[in-house]
Amino acid sequence: MLDCLNLLDTAGDVYLDTLVRVAQTAFGVETVLISLIDRDRQWFKARQGIDISETPRDISFCSHTILQPDSLIVPDALDDPRFSDNPLVTAAPRVRLYAGHPIVINGFPIGSLCLLHPRPRQLSDAEQAMLRDLATLAEGYVIQRLQNTHIRTLYEALDAERLRAMTDPLTRTWNREGLEYLAPVLLSEAGASNMQLGVLCCDLDHFKAINDRYGHAIGDQVLVQAALRLKAVLRADDLLIRLGGEEFGVLLLVNQTDELEILAERVRLALLDKPMTCGSDAISITVSVGAAIKRDEELIEGTFSRADQAMYRAKTNGRNRIELA
């Protein structure tokens, strides 16, 4: 479920960032996190007092928190057999106090609001109540955010099994089945909001050369990292789809063509920004992007076709560029 909420690997949020700053001051602790629990990692949607953005899930305190309905309070992690040999306890940041409360969306625990401190301490009843209240505020903000988007429609209609079928297992983006379901949802929203439906077709440049030189396992890592970078620069309602191989599509609502071009440039720069670290290799990659606005009476397949043709023009004209259909 978390993959489809469009929260993972997204840009910072001013409201959640404010919430963790307030919590840090209110509790007098070194670190406050809003931690989202992915399949094999925890990723921090908001953080205060720590520089890293994620850790492996198997050392995460919060992976224990989401398994229970109420707060998990650990006054001294060194005295708790579940955590006493945890590398977050035995080495920096040397956590002693941990207190977390689960964040639950539509009945699914997706993460927690948590406090960490390098000295052991108890939380008073009033502090425990405040932790629950702040977690409820974070939860409510995420729910409100979803209620303002097409994602709400998606969750009302689909069960977990169907969602999995609509997700690419490698990059955890939507797949073509997801595109077929989501396109009419966005078309309806475009009509209701008097906006236009835009399409980006994005193809990684010289990707075959990466597979030939480094092997397909490294090529897969490049695809995964490319998807993460694209998610990070797209907006909450923009839909990233793996169309196949090294080609991604983006379905999005815009007010005018200029806005589509700005978002396309953001996508191009996301991959150009810095090399990707894959094992011991630093791999640089660029992307060619074709952009199109859906015409009146045009089927979405036609819009994708025009964006795809524009993308091939970008490749013909030198790659690492944007062409507008």
Which residues are part of the catalytic machinery?
246
DSSP letters, 68-135, are SSS-EEES-GGG-TTTTT-HHHHSTT---EEEEEEEEETTEEEEEEEEEESS--PPPHHHHHHHHHHH
The single residue listed with the structure tokens 């060619």 is: 288
β-pair partners for 249: 201, 241
Strands (E), the chain: 31-37, 41-48, 54-56, 72-74, 97-105, 108-117, 196-204, 239-244, 247-254, 276-278, 281-283, 287-293, 322-324
* Beta carbons of 285 and 204 less than 8 angstroms apart: yes
What DSSP designation does 255 have?
Answer: S
Structure tokens at 285: 């990659």
Q: φ and ψ at 101, to 5 degrees?
A: -125, 135
